[in-house]
Amino acid sequence: MSAEVLRVEKLDAGYGKFHVLFGVDLVVRQGEIVVLLGPNGAGKSTLLNAVVGMADVFGGRVVLSGRDITGKPPHEVMKMGVAYVMQSPNNFGTPNVFGELTVYENLLAASIGLPRDEVSRRIEEVYSLFPKLRELRDRKAKFLSGGERQMLAISLGLMKKPTLLMLDEPTAGLAPKLVGEFFHAIKEIRDKLGISILLVEQNARKALEIGDRAYVLVTGRIKYSGAAKELDEEKLASLFLGG
């Protein structure tokens, strides 16, 4: 069995006095796509927030490639190899791209600190993942469509070649035709770049098709963990309804 990239253990977390997660256990292994599903407000984003120190941890721990990172601030966790593409818009009012910069400038900004030849290599990598971005390289991010912006947001997360990529509803609000393209790209990120992925999705059926394992979170508690293939629509519906 491959090494664990992320281990969340008995995690209790929330915001201030507001408790959202209760005893959550979750693991992402090297090379896996792990899908996290659950009804609105279940705490999926909070779980990702807690991993990167953007939610308060009341108990339990978060371990990244064997190192305890519980409660570490976002910049430290990201430096240790986690990329987090937040939902947009999100509760923190944080945009996931730099609106005033062009696509190319965004990519450069996300690669500060990398050697120049590596920057070019990474930019080529994301252009081959999302060819549209090459065409749009000189457009300011604030003028991109929702789908184009989302391609850029994911690309920014990839610039430093993370060990773990956490995607929060990357296909939300996208045209159905584009949704398939995104799922294909997500699979490519794992297959070609070897990056492990924790994916929060509302589009359960498509996510389960590319996922290896899945978790279902309902009102802050894990109600299912197992093979993605074994989670059929009937089982999922019953879990969402509290069955």
* Interaction site with ligand ATP (CB under 6 A): 15, 18, 20, 38, 40-46, 91
Nearer to ligand ATP (CB atom), residue 18 or residue 143 = 18
Nearer to ligand ATP (CB atom), residue 42 or residue 166 = 42
* Smallest separation, CB 137 to ligand ATP (Å): 31
Nearer to ligand ATP (CB atom), residue 36 or residue 110 = 36
| Main-chain dihedrals φ then ψ at residue 185, nearest 5 degrees | -60, -40
* Distance between CA atoms of residues 226 and 39, nearest Å: 18
* Smallest separation, CB 189 to ligand ATP (Å): 21
Q: Where are the beta strands (DSSP E) in the chain?
A: 4-15, 18-29, 33-37, 56-64, 67-68, 82-85, 164-168, 196-200, 213-218, 221-227
* Smallest separation, CB 87 to ligand ATP (Å): 6
Taking Cα atoms as reference points, which of 167, 152, 158 lies closest to residue 44? Answer: 167
Using the structure block, give the residue that is written with the tokens 């850029």: 152
Nearer to ligand ATP (CB atom), residue 195 or residue 217 = 217
Give 7's strand partners. Answer: 27, 63
* Smallest separation, CB 41 to ligand ATP (Å): 4
Nearer to ligand ATP (CB atom), residue 122 or residue 169 = 169
* Smallest separation, CB 127 to ligand ATP (Å): 30
Reading the block at residue 102, the tokens are 């062009």
